[in-house]
């Protein structure tokens, strides 16, 4: 089955035709994974889009589009492997410092992605969530988010969490503000705060901390992403740029994760 999607944010229409509904992995590939040791929650930094576009001789903005298209494949692959939550670093608090044109394109791309992919997300059982502060986003983007979250609310195969206008430090700052108000209402006493208390006020409270953080593009840093939650996450770094990050790359990351010994300081 073929599906055509269209993005109108580049001046010229961009048509991408892709095959869907075929199995992602072969039986042999599945056999390489221990289903009992598949991480419940995987976080991914979708990095390297502009470098990928430059290598391809394409405008930088096109790298973001192909990166968004690649997210579809990786979500399906993650779901097939048994991963229950995939958190994707989509737009950071620092990304506002990019050129106004690039930010505008990213907003258009996000809106188009949410509208064009809504039906497919439902069909694939993908429940959409966001973390971060989306109030700064344009109204059409916020509406597209709200509509897609509503449309996918009953899906239960995998949670796709988009980190939008997200920064780990900002998340902790916002959590502290919420905690201050909660303490003023008498919901807890400051001297009794535990790590669990703090975690419960973070954006990611509904999900367990990620067991695995995947960093494409070869960068050796976490870039202000889930800095509280990844304290004991395994980190997998690959030089592959995000638009080229494939189902095989995801499988390799999961296999390496399963071969590591997680000692948690013991």
- For the annotated binding site for substrate, the residues are 48-52, 64, 92-94, 96, 98, 215, 221-223
**Is 244 one of the catalytic residues?**
no
For the annotated binding site, the residues are 47-52, 64, 92-94, 96, 98, 215, 221-223, 234
Catalytic residue among 12, 13, 15, 47: 47
Backbone φ and ψ for 47, nearest 5 degrees, come out as -115, 150
DSSP state letters, 80-107 = HHT--EEEEEEEEGGGGGS-HHHHHHHH
**Is 47 one of the catalytic residues?**
yes
Helix then strand then coil, in percent of the chain rounded to 5, is: 50, 20, 35
CA distances from 163 to 116, 158, 224, 256 (A): 19, 16, 11, 25
Backbone φ and ψ for 126, nearest 5 degrees, come out as -95, 120
Catalytic residue among 72, 95, 159, 165: 95
For the annotated binding site for Mg(2+), the residues are 47, 234
Which 8-state DSSP code applies to residue 6?
Answer: E
**Active site members:** 47, 95
């Amino acid at each position: 089955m073929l599906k055509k999607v269209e993005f109108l944010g580049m001046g010229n229409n961009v048509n991408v035709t892709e095959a869907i509904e075929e199995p992602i992995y072969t039986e042999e590939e599945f056999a390489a994974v221990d289903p009992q040791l598949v991480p419940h929650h995987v976080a991914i930094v979708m990095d390297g889009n502009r470098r990928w576009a430059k290598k391809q001789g394409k405008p930088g903005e096109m790298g973001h589009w192909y990166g968004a298209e690649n997210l579809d494949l990786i979500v399906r692959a993650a779901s097939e492997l048994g991963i229950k939550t995939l958190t994707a670093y989509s737009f950071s608090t620092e990304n506002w410092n990019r050129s106004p044109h690039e930010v505008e394109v990213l907003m258009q791309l996000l809106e188009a992605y949410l509208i064009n992919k809504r039906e497919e997300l439902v069909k694939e059982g993908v429940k959409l969530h966001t973390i971060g502060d989306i109030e700064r986003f344009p109204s059409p983007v916020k509406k597209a988010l709200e509509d897609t979250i509503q449309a996918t609310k009953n899906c239960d195969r995998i949670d796709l969490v988009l980190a939008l206008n997200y920064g780990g430090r900002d998340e902790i700052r916002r959590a502290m503000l919420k905690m201050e108000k909660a303490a003023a209402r008498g919901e807890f006493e400051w001297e009794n705060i535990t790590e669990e208390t703090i975690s419960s006020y973070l954006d990611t409270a509904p999900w367990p901390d990620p067991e695995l953080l995947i960093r494409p593009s070869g960068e050796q840093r976490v870039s202000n992403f889930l800095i509280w939650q990844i304290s004991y996450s395994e980190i997998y770094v690959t030089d592959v740029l995000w638009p080229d990050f494939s189902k095989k790359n995801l499988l390799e990351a999961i296999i390496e994760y399963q071969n590591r010994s997680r000692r948690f300081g013991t």
